Amino acid sequence: MNKLSIPIIQTDVLILGAGGAGLCAALHAADAGKKIKILLVTKAIIGKGGCSRMVQGGYNVVLNPADSFDKHFQDTLKGGQFINNQELAWELVTVAPQRIKEMETKYGCFFDRNPDGTIHQKPFAGQSFDRTVHKGDLTGIEIVSRLSEQVFRREIDYLDEHRALELLWDKAGTRIVGALLLDISRGEFLVAHARTTLVCTGGGPTMYKLFAPSLDKSADGIALCYRAGAEMVDMEMVQFHPTGLIVKGSNTSGTLLEEGLRGAGAQLFNALGERFMERYAPDVKERATRDVVSRSSFMEIIAGRGSSNGAVFIDASVMGPEFVEKNFPGMVERCRDYGFDLAHKRVEVSPTAHFFMGGAMIDTRCLTDLDGLYAAGEDAGSIHGANRLGGNGIADSTVFGGIAGDSMAHDAINRELAPFDEKQVEEVIKQVEAPLGREGIDLYSLREILQMNNWEKLGIIRDEKGLLESRQTIQDLKEKMDQVGITVEKAYNIPWNDWLNLRNLLDVSEIVGRSALERKESRGAHYRSDFPKKNNREYLKNFFIKQEKGEIRTYDRPVIMNRLKPEDIGFE
């Protein structure tokens, strides 16, 4: 205990998040051969929550001799519309085979096989080669389950049902030295005081009407990095997955039907029975990249050619019911749970908010521009550029999670554990306790306003007028957050945690909107109806946002094309 009257846990390596990135980081740090203490913190239960576990489709990796790093790299840059950080993209592509081998031979993952015993790889949209490794259509469960088992076998401390409220600075204001945590089960605060800190909570753009991530996701890590003053990159790039399941009147609307369906041959139809992707991408149709298919579906819906539920239809039955049931059992069962027959009939789907391509800017060691702070997975930006390819997400998390673990294990040795700023801790506790016991307005009406505002003005199609209106709405909601009242009980106080979630989502919505205003063109997931064309002459650059002393600064830098230029592969 201390004069703050809250517990302090000291550690060498603090990992915030227990998805693919966090688990790999913990394992790599533990296996680095260093005598270090590791603390893994998750808002959920280790092995049971988060986005990585929800991965259905698979993991992109070069394994076949007919494939190559160059092909995967080119596909990743094409998908990202050439604003990816090329060093990070190359790291993703070249380290992925090592990570797959490691997961199978060291951690116990087992992926689907060909008859000859080699790992099976299936087709995914936006790729020039069938390179997606999978475990049926439940790949994430396999990866997270096996990695979690390995964490439990090592000397890794962990805290379930704890959330990070703020990253902590040292007293000199020169480095990040851990985080203030909230024990959700008890409603009590504690400080995780660390030599090195990794933020990898998983993004989760749940600030939209329809979204794919689990309900506990609220862009926490991105908000933490932003408020701490880390450099954030390309926050305008929010990916919408084309096929979110529509279940009328249910919170489960938006949950995914995975990319492999379209990769294998499923077709999309509007309410008139037209296979509309023939109009938007006649060469590749449903196997176009996610941004193209999502935007095409959305345009069909707003043109009045959608269903009465504001959706289009996916038809997997064209591949044959037996094929669907054998190859996509998880999705068949999921649809059946809601009364739909994926193997035999068309099912209603809509674009659904899915993934942040933007996040904290990192180097190839996963270091941010703040001393002591690392980021990986969806909390880190610039790997995927303007659009992430399906199958590159879980690869990103495990590749860079492992790299972060290696980096932190190395950096923590002989690093001073600088005293944290106790005044900052006191101020944050005061802020987050403010709504408790207060008579005030309803929280959930504010959340609904934000979700509809972002869907209509900060979503798949944007323009300057809508973005400016959206900014004002977000500012108004931020002010109203100070009027929300929540019951005083702290233990398992769900409305309190939802208030903390909304606080983060408002901050992230604000910087998504600010960055979207700066990019006056259409590229990848960012589509401006007032600037509908891609403009390579002026906008082959990244947009950055940084909060310094309460002021928000936006700026840009040209993309560094040190490995591949658009003209090298005829990209226009």
Give one DSSP letter per residue of 280-348, joined into a string. H-TTTGGGS-HHHHHHHHHHHIIIIIS-TTS-EEEE-GGG-HHHHHHH-HHHHHHHHHTT--TTTS-EE
Give the domain CATH number at 186. 3.50.50.60
Task: Please indicate, yes or no, if residue 560 is contained in any of the structural domains.
Answer: no
Please say if 241 is a catalytic residue: yes
Give the domain CATH number at 477. 1.20.58.100
Task: Please indicate, yes or no, if residue 219 is contained in any of the structural domains.
Answer: yes
Give the domain CATH number at 284. 3.90.700.10
460 and 362 inside one domain = no
* pLDDT attached to residue 6: 96
- Sign for the pseudo-dihedral over CA of 100, 85, 65, 116: positive
378 and 523 inside one domain = no
Under DSSP, the state recorded for 109 is: -
Q: Which of 163, 241, 388, 526 is catalytic?
A: 241
Question: If DSSP states are collapsed to H, E and C, what string results for 396-430?
Answer: HHHHHHHHHHHHHHHHHCCCCCCCECHHHHHHHHH
80 and 180 inside one domain = yes
370 and 503 inside one domain = no
Each residue's pLDDT tens digit, 456-507:
999 999 999 999 999 999 999 999 999 999 999 999 999 999 999 999 999 9
Q: Which domain holds residue 484?
A: 435-532
Among 544, 204, 167, 211, which residue's Cα sits nearest to residue 378?
204
3-state secondary structure of 250: coil
Task: Please indicate, yes or no, if residue 474 is contained in any of the structural domains.
Answer: yes
155 and 178 inside one domain = yes
173 and 38 inside one domain = yes
Task: Please indicate, yes or no, if residue 1 is contained in any of the structural domains.
Answer: no
306 and 227 inside one domain = no
173 and 273 inside one domain = no
120 and 248 inside one domain = no
97 and 21 inside one domain = yes
> Cβ of 86: how many Cβ atoms within 10 Å?
21
Those residues of the chain that have pLDDT short of 70 are: 1-2
Among 514, 532, 550, the domain boundary falls at 532
pTM flag (> 0.75): yes
Q: Which two tokens stand for residue 395?
A: 């690869």
Each residue's pLDDT tens digit, 382-422:
999 999 999 999 999 999 999 999 999 999 998 999 999 99
196 and 300 inside one domain = no
User: Cα–Cα distance between 439 and 563 in angstroms, integer?
Assistant: 58
User: Cα–Cα distance between 425 and 235 in angstroms, integer?
Assistant: 28
449 and 334 inside one domain = no
| Biggest CA-to-CA distance, the chain | 68
Task: Please indicate, yes or no, if residue 372 is contained in any of the structural domains.
Answer: yes
Please say if 262 is a catalytic residue: yes
* pLDDT attached to residue 1: 41
Task: Please indicate, yes or no, if residue 88 is contained in any of the structural domains.
Answer: yes
Task: Please indicate, yes or no, if residue 273 is contained in any of the structural domains.
Answer: yes
* pLDDT attached to residue 2: 54
Task: Please indicate, yes or no, if residue 521 is contained in any of the structural domains.
Answer: yes
> What domain count does the chain have?
3
Beta strands in 207-274 (DSSP E): 232-233, 238-245, 267-269
User: Cα–Cα distance between 410 and 408 in angstroms, integer?
Assistant: 5
Q: Please answer whether residues 450 and 478 qualify as being in contact, where contact means their C-beta atoms are separated by less than 8 angstroms.
A: no
